[in-house]
A and B are shown apart, each in its own frame.
Chain A
Amino acid sequence: MNFAMIIYVLGWLLIFDGIFMTVPLMTAFVCREDAAAAFLLTMAVCLLPGMLIVSKKPRDKTLYARDGYVIVALSWIVMSLFGALPFVISGVLPSYADALFETVSGFTTTGATVIKDVEALPRSIIMWRSFTHWVGGMGVLVFLMAFIPLSGGQNMHIMKAESTGPSVNKLMPGVKTTALVLYTLYFLLTLVEFVMLLFGGMSVFEAVNTAFSTAGTGGFGFRNDSFASFSPYCQYVVAAFMLMFSISFSSYHFIIKRRFKAAFTLEVKVFLAVVIGVTAMITLNVRDMFPTLEECFRNVLFTVSSVISTTGFVTADFDLWPSFSKVLLVTIMFIGACAGSTGGGMKVSRIIIMVKGIGKELRQMVHPRQIRRITMDGTQVSHEVVRAVNVYMVSFVLVFVISLLLIVLLDETGLVTGFTAVAATINNIGPGLEAVGPTCNFAFFSMPSKLVLIFDMIAGRLELFPMLVLIHPATWKK
């Protein structure tokens, strides 16, 4: 393990963490809030050690696959540890564990909160919460790689470990260029949403926060009723953008390049089909609960988009909906967004590969000598990818069950609350059902339970393996 190099990258991470503080800091200055001091202090705490570490470049710059995993896992932990400071220093969340929960929830774009009265928060703190979504959505290290001087093949391991989906490919030669292209697309889409929300009558502050939060598919709101009190226009816009941010960014890249076949992959088609199907089914199921069909459709579409994109904005309390709808919603919580997007969950492509795998095995049982391969969009899915998907699935179930056991053991929460709390954090959604439902929050969990959920959020965002590699003893043996 190349510790010098790991520390070096973490040093850069701290510097960027410090630079990120400028966004809430500006807000604090504009709104003349006392929280400015908290952000300034955090900035100093991040920048000083960061500069110190970065000033000396390690001689041996080789990074192997495991260094990549460790760097990514540690980065997310370190980033959250420092990112939590403003909450504590400003006095918004006196308990560091709460602050950490809130920050991790932000960076991992979960959107689960421990704050009861969001409207009472200083605006700069609200801005910081939303901004963590935006930063965490695309991945901080991907961002870092566009700027820091890491050479050549070294950074592919990092990109692989941080990006979402079963197989990660470069869009262009050079990780740097790829990272730059992704962030440009990300920035432009966010900008378009911001402008469209301004037209819907939102204030600049509201529009920026909503755009950040949607772009990262996060879900932190700034009103206590999340999104219910906004105009139908704004709700439609946000629903559309939640879906757009759950589609792989390479699709947009290909659309710009006019390669439409490459853009509309099987994954995108299945994703859209699921959204349409589930929306239709739930709309029929809850038709009686709303005065007009439009209102019913709008609320269902918004909820489905919010849940499948793993954002977590809320316009209607779906905890009150019939069981059929609730089960459908929990199902799409697990399916999640497309690979290579900012959304969480298991990812549509993994589900497709697993379902195709079942089909393949069944056929093999009927015709034992038949040769069959799993293909997607005309290309063969390699055996390694299929294996990784299966291992992912097993690890997911394991982490899920262990977390659930710990939660119900530590806090007697009841099955549905416990189950959906873990589901909502590991899939980076935010709200679950019952005690963690759309109108509630995560404040009542005990500190140990919160730590379990924090682990789940980071593990879920990084798609398990980096965190599992980090705690696997083999990683730390010579």
Chain B
Amino acid sequence: MNIIIVGCGKVGETLARQLDEEGNRVTVIDKSPRRVSALADASDVMGIVGNGAVYDVLREAGISNTHLLIAVTNSDELNILCCLVAAKSGSCRTIARVRNPEYNDEAAFFHERLGLAMTINPEFTAANEIARILRFPSAMKIDSFAKGRAELLKFKMPEKCPLEGMAVKDVVGRLHCDVLVCIVERGQEALIPNGDFRFEPRDIVSIVASPRNAAEFFRKINYRLNSVKSVMVVGGGRIGYYVSSLLSRSNIKVKLVEKDAERAKELDSKLPDVSVINADAVDHAALLEEGLADMDGFVSLTNIDEENILLSMYAKEVSRAKVVTKVNRLDFDSVISRLDLDSIIYPKNLTSDVIVRYVRAMKNTIGSNMETLYNVIKGKIEAAEFLITEKSPVVGKPLMELKFREHTLVAAITRGKKVIIPRGQDVIEPGDSVVIVTDLKAISDIKDILVK
């Protein structure tokens, strides 16, 4: 696939390398000749110096036969302009990094009216990730579908679990809980179970559910979620703001520590349910006074990586909190991972991950309607999200009447703002977005999952 990346900062560079390694033909554009030539020398991409919103520059980069343009410069406005110019001068899809919170609610407008395929807000993405880690601290891995309304959660069966020996088809009836078992990993195997499959101890199970149902399900199977009830967030920047607002929305008590008095006041007025504390986080006494020792969660989000790491280490020492640390620089990840800090968040990596995931889906599906593609279990099982059109063969019949191929599962249906965890009698309608879990390789259209 031909891809143009505008902006050779950290994210642009990470993206260029990764997309190039996955066999795409990447061209990068940046105003700085030094950065362009450094990147063009270090990896197999073509570099062009110039402003990516200028038609001539885009033409030189070959916009006419480009499939995707990704704008990740420092400026939101420039990114959006790049996408608009690119969309008008070629037939490519466009992704823009837009980080100003004021534009955050405009994502739908950008998508529908301006034709951007995706806007990505790195801080918001990071905040979402942090919030998920704190809500389900002991789940092993979480992916979200349907813009966060359905989640794919993976966990290891706890001891004395009511699921032991239970058949998959009985789960909903016995537990009175709307979840769908998607994948069971047993030893080296990864299976997509059918209704008669029975659980065994030490299975690793993945389920799809809405966040609320998931919490209920875990309670019923005696799985200790260790969901946090109180969190201290240090650093009231953009991520801090998003994390606090997300957590307080799921009824978690948040204390937000911000050094700057003005900013603290501003945050306080924006976040009514959060107690904002104006203190310097390096001041241990202040943190202890605000009850750090009794917190379940601790998130360090200052602008200085070293400070974040030290704060988290301190928090681990004085409390039993689940600790999340934000690190901006990608260079020392191997060192940091040895420090025994619970979770490390690299916002830049997250941004490029999201985009790479989109590119993979797009590549698998040029000309089809796949929205996203997740490698749920590396190389074995994939989850794909499809938009359903009127002509689709799956429309209008109850699921139990459709003949699916083996090891394929409809895991979730999103209709408007509602998420349906599908059962046999559910019917797919045009306009729905459907998540399919499958071990088939190279599905590119929803009809590929039916028996031919």
Interface residues of A (CB under 8 A from B): 151-153, 155-157, 160, 169-177, 259, 262, 379-380, 382
CB within 8 A of B44: which of A153, A169, A171? Answer: A153
Q: Which residues of B contact A259 (CB under 8 A)?
A: 60
Q: Which residues of B contact A177 (CB under 8 A)?
A: 25
CB within 8 A of A173: which of B21, B42, B45? Answer: B45
Q: Which residues of B contact A175 (CB under 8 A)?
A: 44
Q: Which residues of B contact A262 (CB under 8 A)?
A: 60
Distance between B36 CB and nearest chain A CB, rounded to angstroms: 10
Tell me if B40 and A156 are in contact (CB < 8 A).
yes
A-B contact count (CB 8 A): 49
Residue in B closest to A170 when the chains form the complex, CB atoms:
B46
**Contact status of A173 and B49, CB under 8 A, knowing A152-B20, A157-B41:** no
Residue in A closest to B45 when the chains form the complex, CB atoms:
A173
Besides A151-B21, A151-B44, A157-B41, 15 more A-B contacts (Cβ < 8 Å) are A152-B17, A153-B43, A155-B44, A156-B41, A160-B41, A169-B40, A169-B47, A172-B25, A173-B20, A173-B44, A174-B45, A177-B25, A259-B60, A379-B49, A382-B33
Residue in A closest to B49 when the chains form the complex, CB atoms:
A379
B365 within 8 A of A: no
What mask results when residues 43 to 61 of chain B are scored 1 for a CB within 8 Å of chain A, else 0? 1111101000000000010
**Contact status of A173 and B46, CB under 8 A, knowing A152-B20, A152-B21:** yes
Instruction: For chain B, give the interface size range.
Output: 10 to 19
Distance between A416 CB and nearest chain B CB, rounded to angstroms: 43
B372 within 8 A of A: no
B349 within 8 A of A: no
Residue in A closest to B26 when the chains form the complex, CB atoms:
A173
Tell me if B46 and A153 are in contact (CB < 8 A).
no
What mask results when residues 356 to 389 of chain B are scored 1 for a CB within 8 Å of chain A, else 0? 0000000000000000000000000000000000
**Contact status of A153 and B25, CB under 8 A, knowing A173-B2, A382-B33:** no
Q: Which residues of A contact B49 (CB under 8 A)?
A: 379
CA A439 to CA B143, docked complex, whole Å: 78
B244 within 8 A of A: no
Q: Which residues of A contact B41 (CB under 8 A)?
A: 153, 156-157, 160
- Interface members, chain B 25-40 (any A CB < 8 Å): 25-27, 33, 40
Could you tell me the dominant secondary structure of chain B's interface residues?
mixed
CA A380 to CA B260, docked complex, whole Å: 44
Q: Which residues of B contact A170 (CB under 8 A)?
A: 40, 46-47
CA A73 to CA B434, docked complex, whole Å: 58
Residue in B closest to A156 when the chains form the complex, CB atoms:
B41
16 contacts between A and B (CB under 8 A): A151-B44, A152-B17, A152-B20, A153-B20, A153-B41, A153-B43, A156-B40, A156-B42, A157-B41, A170-B47, A173-B2, A173-B25, A173-B44, A174-B45, A176-B44, A380-B33
Q: Which residues of A contact B20 (CB under 8 A)?
A: 152-153, 173
Residue in B closest to A178 when the chains form the complex, CB atoms:
B46
Q: Which residues of B contact A169 (CB under 8 A)?
A: 40, 46-47
Residue in B closest to A150 when the chains form the complex, CB atoms:
B44
Distance between A455 CB and nearest chain B CB, rounded to angstroms: 28
CB within 8 A of B42: which of A151, A153, A160, A172? Answer: A153
Distance between B118 CB and nearest chain A CB, rounded to angstroms: 22
Distance between A231 CB and nearest chain B CB, rounded to angstroms: 43
Distance between B423 CB and nearest chain A CB, rounded to angstroms: 47
**Contact status of A174 and B33, CB under 8 A, knowing A152-B20, A152-B44, A379-B49:** no
Residue in B closest to A254 when the chains form the complex, CB atoms:
B60
Residue in A closest to B62 when the chains form the complex, CB atoms:
A172
Tell me if B21 and A174 are in contact (CB < 8 A).
no
Q: Which residues of B contact A379 (CB under 8 A)?
A: 49
CA A295 to CA B305, docked complex, whole Å: 77
Residue in B closest to A177 when the chains form the complex, CB atoms:
B25
Q: Which residues of B contact A380 (CB under 8 A)?
A: 33
- Interface members, chain B 55-82 (any A CB < 8 Å): 60, 62
Distance between A2 CB and nearest chain B CB, rounded to angstroms: 16
Q: Which residues of B contact A155 (CB under 8 A)?
A: 44
Tell me if A152 and B43 are in contact (CB < 8 A).
yes
Residue in B closest to A65 when the chains form the complex, CB atoms:
B41
Residue in A closest to B39 when the chains form the complex, CB atoms:
A153
CA A382 to CA B40, docked complex, whole Å: 16
Residue in A closest to B64 when the chains form the complex, CB atoms:
A257
What mask results when residues 194 to 214 of chain B are scored 1 for a CB within 8 Å of chain A, else 0? 000000000000000000000
